[in-house]
């Protein structure tokens, strides 16, 4: 499959999902509901002295005003069975009445708006955050700079709260080796043709570590890892990453730091991982890219542009999903192809460097 001896392997969330890890935004959404919000409601009902910073004061007072009635509703059993936002919303309606949902109960307005505005348990936090920044910046001139800055500080504080929950959630996940994925690496890399592997990991988990012992070191000149956004047991880079958009430039021009403090560009300035990637790219006369599970979304456009548009990049391989069949499989590939087109400089280069669906490998290799 590869003609170059130098391969940059991009590992995105699809790599973890292929291990059956619950790392989708939907999974994280369920975690927030079942392990964070629901226990807060439970504590307020069954502990008269508990003060919650996550639940709104009027809701806390309502919960504590008639605890005997709430306890008689057997809420303890219902709360223990909450798995997702739909489950919790039904309980919230039962307690507070119709037209109430999660957004009416929690103090984190950003998170509440996400739950209120999206279909059941699906949201993309980084994109939603960027949209909220734009909403604040586009408000009428009647909104004073002081008011906007106050709203930005609140939004960033709420975003940091979610970020800390994400770290806790991911750090608790147990990762393991998958035989079909081990076969995939063995088939494509332990053949003596590839000499340098650069593993660029966008995930916060350490799943890839299980496979490193199976790379035959004597066949390679170098095998390097770069957890470009950090790992769950350390500070992570989490935010928006398209600093080429006109909207970003408009936010930058305001000279208000709160607009840009969670852009990945500035996270990259906290360590050497971004510069190490650039040095690796510059050290290759040519290289190919293999994408395993990255959506290639605009939240990572800044860094992906560096890789895809470098003249030394001769081919980009978008792996097909082996868990899908027929048209569904092709459509998933094309979605990734469309996303790549928003990063690659022009359509001529897109056609030249992105390998076709017909020639793409499937990930993982279940038949070996």
> Average pLDDT over the chain, rounded to whole?
92
Task: Name the percent of the chain lying above pLDDT 90.
Answer: 76
Report whether 328 contacts 286 (CB < 8 A): no
The Cα 208–Cα 193 span in angstroms is 21
Predicted local confidence at residue 310, as pLDDT: 97
The mean pLDDT of 268-289, rounded to a whole number, is: 97
Segment among 140-149, 277-286, 356-365 with least mean pLDDT: 140-149
Segment among 90-99, 146-155, 189-198, 290-299 with least mean pLDDT: 90-99
The mean pLDDT of 350-358, rounded to a whole number, is: 97
Predicted local confidence at residue 121, as pLDDT: 44
pLDDT at 269 over 60: yes
Burial call 148-160: b when 16+ CB within 10 Å, e when fewer? bbebbebbbebbe
In whole angstroms, how far apart are CA 350 and each of 289, 308, 347?
13, 9, 5
- Please state the separation of Cα 33 from the chain's center in Å: 18
The Cα 358–Cα 340 span in angstroms is 17
pLDDT at 68 over 50: yes
Partners of 222 in the β-ladder: 196
pLDDT at 360 over 90: yes
Higher pLDDT, 66 or 367: 66
pTM of the model: 0.93
Burial call 308-323: b when 16+ CB within 10 Å, e when fewer? bebeebbbbbbbbbbe
Tokens 């790992």, residue?
Answer: 231
Give the pLDDT band of residue 231 (cuts 50, 70, 90): very high
pLDDT at 333 over 90: yes
pLDDT at 71 over 70: no
Predicted local confidence at residue 18, as pLDDT: 96
pLDDT at 165 over 80: yes
pLDDT at 72 over 70: no
Predicted local confidence at residue 366, as pLDDT: 65
Quick one: three-class SS letters along the chain?
A: CCCCCEEEEEECHHHHHCCCCCCCHHHHHHHHHHHHHHHHHHHHHHCCCCCCCCECHHHHHHHHHCHHHHHHCCHHHHHHCCCCHHHHHHHHHHHHCCCCCHHHCECCHHHHHHHHHCCCCCCCHHHHHHHHHHHHHCCCCCCCHHHHHHHHHHHHHHHHHHHHHHHHHHHCCCCCCCHHHHHHHHHHHCCCCCCEEEEEECCCCCHHHHCHHHCCHHHCCEEEEEECCCCCCCCCCCCECCCCCHHHHHHHHCCCHHHCCCEHHHHHHHCCHHHHHHHHHHHCCCEEEEEECCCCCHHHHHHHHHHHCCCCEEEEEECEECCCCHHHHHHHHHHHHHHHHCCCCCHHHHHHHECCCCCCCEECCCCC
Closest of 260, 192, 211 to residue 16, by C-alpha: 211
Angle between helices 109-117 and 125-137 (to 10 degrees): 110
The residue ranges of every structural domain in the chain are 6-22+177-363, 25-171
pLDDT at 145 over 90: no
Report whether 130 contacts 155 (CB < 8 A): no
Report whether 126 contacts 264 (CB < 8 A): no
Predicted local confidence at residue 120, as pLDDT: 44
Segment among 37-41, 123-127, 135-139, 207-211 with least mean pLDDT: 123-127
The Cα 15–Cα 314 span in angstroms is 23
The Cα 203–Cα 263 span in angstroms is 17
The Cα 304–Cα 309 span in angstroms is 8
The mean pLDDT of 27-46, rounded to a whole number, is: 92
The mean pLDDT of 307-331, rounded to a whole number, is: 97
Alpha-carbon torsion, ordered 102, 107, 110, 115, to 10 deg: -10
Predicted local confidence at residue 216, as pLDDT: 85
The mean pLDDT of 50-61, rounded to a whole number, is: 91
- Please state the separation of Cα 317 from the chain's center in Å: 21
């Amino acid at each position: 499959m590869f003609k170059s001896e130098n391969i940059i392997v991009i590992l995105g969330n699809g790599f973890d999902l292929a291990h059956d890890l619950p790392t989708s935004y939907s999974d994280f959404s369920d975690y927030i509901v079942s392990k964070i919000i629901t226990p807060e409601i439970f504590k307020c009902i069954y502990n008269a002295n508990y003060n919650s910073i996550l639940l709104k004061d009027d809701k806390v007072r309502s919960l504590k005003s008639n605890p005997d009635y709430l306890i008689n509703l057997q809420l303890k059993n219902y709360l223990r069975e909450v798995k997702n936002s739909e489950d919790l919303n039904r309980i919230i309606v039962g307690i507070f009445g119709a037209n109430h949902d999660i957004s009416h109960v929690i103090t984190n307005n950003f998170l509440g708006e996400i739950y209120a505005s999206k279909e059941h348990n699906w949201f993309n936090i980084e994109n939603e955050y960027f949209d909220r920044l734009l909403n604040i910046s586009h408000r009428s001139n009647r909104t004073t700079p002081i008011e906007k800055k106050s709203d930005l500080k609140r939004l960033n504080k709420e975003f940091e709260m979610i970020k800390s929950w994400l770290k806790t959630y991911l750090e608790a996940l147990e990762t393991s080796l998958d035989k079909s994925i081990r076969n995939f690496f063995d088939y494509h890399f332990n053949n003596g043709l590839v000499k340098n592997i650069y593993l660029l990991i966008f995930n916060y988990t350490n799943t890839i570590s299980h496979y490193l012992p199976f790379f035959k070191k004597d066949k390679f000149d170098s095998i390097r890892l770069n957890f470009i956004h950090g790992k769950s047991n350390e500070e992570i880079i989490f935010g928006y990453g398209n600093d080429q958009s006109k909207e970003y430039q408009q936010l930058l021009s305001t000279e208000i730091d709160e607009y840009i403090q969670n852009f990945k560009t500035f996270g990259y300035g906290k360590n050497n991982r971004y510069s190490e990637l650039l040095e690796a790219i510059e050290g290759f006369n040519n290289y190919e890219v293999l994408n395993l599970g990255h959506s290639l979304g605009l939240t990572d456009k800044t860094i992906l542009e560096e890789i895809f548009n470098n003249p030394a990049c001769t081919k980009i391989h978008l792996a097909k999903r082996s868990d899908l069949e027929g048209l569904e499989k092709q459509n998933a590939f094309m979605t990734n192809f469309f996303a790549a087109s928003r990063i690659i400089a022009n359509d001529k280069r897109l056609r030249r460097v992105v390998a076709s669906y017909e020639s793409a490998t499937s990930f993982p290799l279940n038949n070996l």
